[in-house]
Structure 1
């Protein structure tokens, strides 16, 4: 069969198809994982693999919340407190499924409370506690029955949370592509805020990552969102897990 003169060569078609398939897989993972609160950046912006997600500036609400966080003790009595530091090696953890995604637990670091519906909360005010919080929120966000509670209780109170709660919940996460945590980078930690880069693998073989921007609020780590209720950091597709500390429970 003769190719139309306006059609690109076969190898260019193949490359374009692979790029589209890869992007579609990551978008499917985003919907399942529930980490991204708006897909605008993915559909309208850069779709090439990006290896270094960056930490954003805080919103007006979280900047104000930082000033009141100093005296907030752990909501469930976890005693460990570290106002600086990082995590560069994979901590030993016990992993349990939340829906289909494995979530870690570390004694003294969290979660200090696991409810009957599977919702996990209360994390230590330490770099490890922030890492465990980020990983657990990634898992909770993947589980549709907890999605509404996730948005309500795991985000920092303020205009962003109020805007988020007015939005319809999308991404049922009830089949198809599944996601598992694969690694991490703690990009920033000062005891009041933490930016934790969580890498994940999908059941379709794609690798991606999202920075969870955390705030110490109400005696626990919660997710910071922009004042319009959208995410502060987009999910990106990765070519590999190079640069990440490998950490997984499944």
Structure 2
């Protein structure tokens, strides 16, 4: 079995066979870098300016007041959170075989023909919905966002690399081997969130993928590293304990 984690690439295909092999071998994969242990910067840390009076780059520039509100006017907003999401009245839409979630209150508030989906409420629910849609759009293969990935990927040195890879990605011919089954809010503030999604493969093997998001440019956006990879924390689960059922099965 290869040690490469296929989920570390933007166009990660959810592989039931890969998960089954992990379960049989008892392997636990964790690909999210430990910044405190390694002494590196946080994934969304902005680079330091070159000196006093330097003009900040777009990645360094502070958000404008308008960025504090939802770009499409979703009014829900909270700084409170619970690890267990409330049950959401969710509509699921298939994108290349993987189902993407949507609610009227929390988003995506903008859904266009062809797959473009963005704009979420500034709430834990909005962050969870943003994560689920990012996963479905990236997993589907092909340029599902029509070269507009900046709408769902956070500013930073890796955003351009991520967009370039997604623009060049062919549509998947392998299909999708799993679907979102549950969700958990690992941490949350008005400006940052960490969301864990539990996925189930057809053979009932569960695995979790955990993403960091930031509230920027008036929306929740997924953080990618300098190489353009999202590197989600990937873990095989024995069950869905600690998660809120949120099935797209």
1:184 and 2:183 are equivalent in the alignment = yes
Give the TM-score of the pair, scaled to structure 2. 0.72
Deviation for aligned residue 1:131: 1.1
Partner of 1:75: 71
Deviation for aligned residue 1:193: 0.9
Q: Within 2, Cα distance between the matches of 1:139 and 1:198?
A: 12
Q: Which runs of 5 or more structure 2 residues have no equivalent in the other structure? A: 16-24, 36-41, 49-58
Partner of 2:243: 244
Deviation for aligned residue 1:248: 0.7
CA 1:108/1:159 → structure 2, altered by over 3 Å: closer, same or farther? same
Aligned residues of 1:182 and 1:201 also touching (Cα < 8 A): yes
Q: Within 2, Cα distance between the matches of 1:69 and 1:248?
A: 37
CA 1:170/1:182 → structure 2, altered by over 3 Å: closer, same or farther? same
1:84 counterpart (80, 85, 88): 80
Q: Which runs of 5 or more structure 1 residues have no equivalent in the other structure? A: 1-19, 35-45
1:29-86: per-residue Cα shift (whole Å, max 9, x none)? 973259xxxxxxxxxxx981369x8986343239976953765121111111113323
Q: Within 1, Cα distance between the matches of 2:28 and 2:182?
A: 17
- Indicate the SS of the match to 2:12: helix
Partner of 2:19: none
State which structure, 1 or 2, has the greater radius of gyration over its C-alpha atoms. 1
1:199-228: per-residue Cα shift (whole Å, max 9, x none)? 111235432211121111211111111123
Aligned residues of 2:14 and 2:176 also touching (Cα < 8 A): no
1:134 and 2:115 are equivalent in the alignment = no
Q: Within 2, Cα distance between the matches of 1:136 and 1:111?
A: 8
Partner of 1:94: 91
CA 1:86/1:66 → structure 2, altered by over 3 Å: closer, same or farther? farther
- 4+ residue stretches of structure 1 with deviation over 6 A? 53-56, 62-66
Q: Within 2, Cα distance between the matches of 1:160 and 1:247?
A: 30
Deviation for aligned residue 1:162: 2.1
1:32 and 2:28 are equivalent in the alignment = no
Q: Within 1, Cα distance between the matches of 2:206 and 2:61?
A: 33
The structure where helix makes up a greater share of residues is 1
1:125 counterpart (103, 122, 125): 122
Partner of 1:39: none
Aligned residues of 1:177 and 1:203 also touching (Cα < 8 A): no
Q: Within 2, Cα distance between the matches of 1:28 and 1:237?
A: 13
Give the TM-score of the pair, scaled to structure 1. 0.71
Q: Within 1, Cα distance between the matches of 2:83 and 2:7?
A: 29
Deviation for aligned residue 1:118: 2.1
- My pick for the range that moved more, 75-84 or 189-198, is 75-84
How many corresponding residue pairs? 217
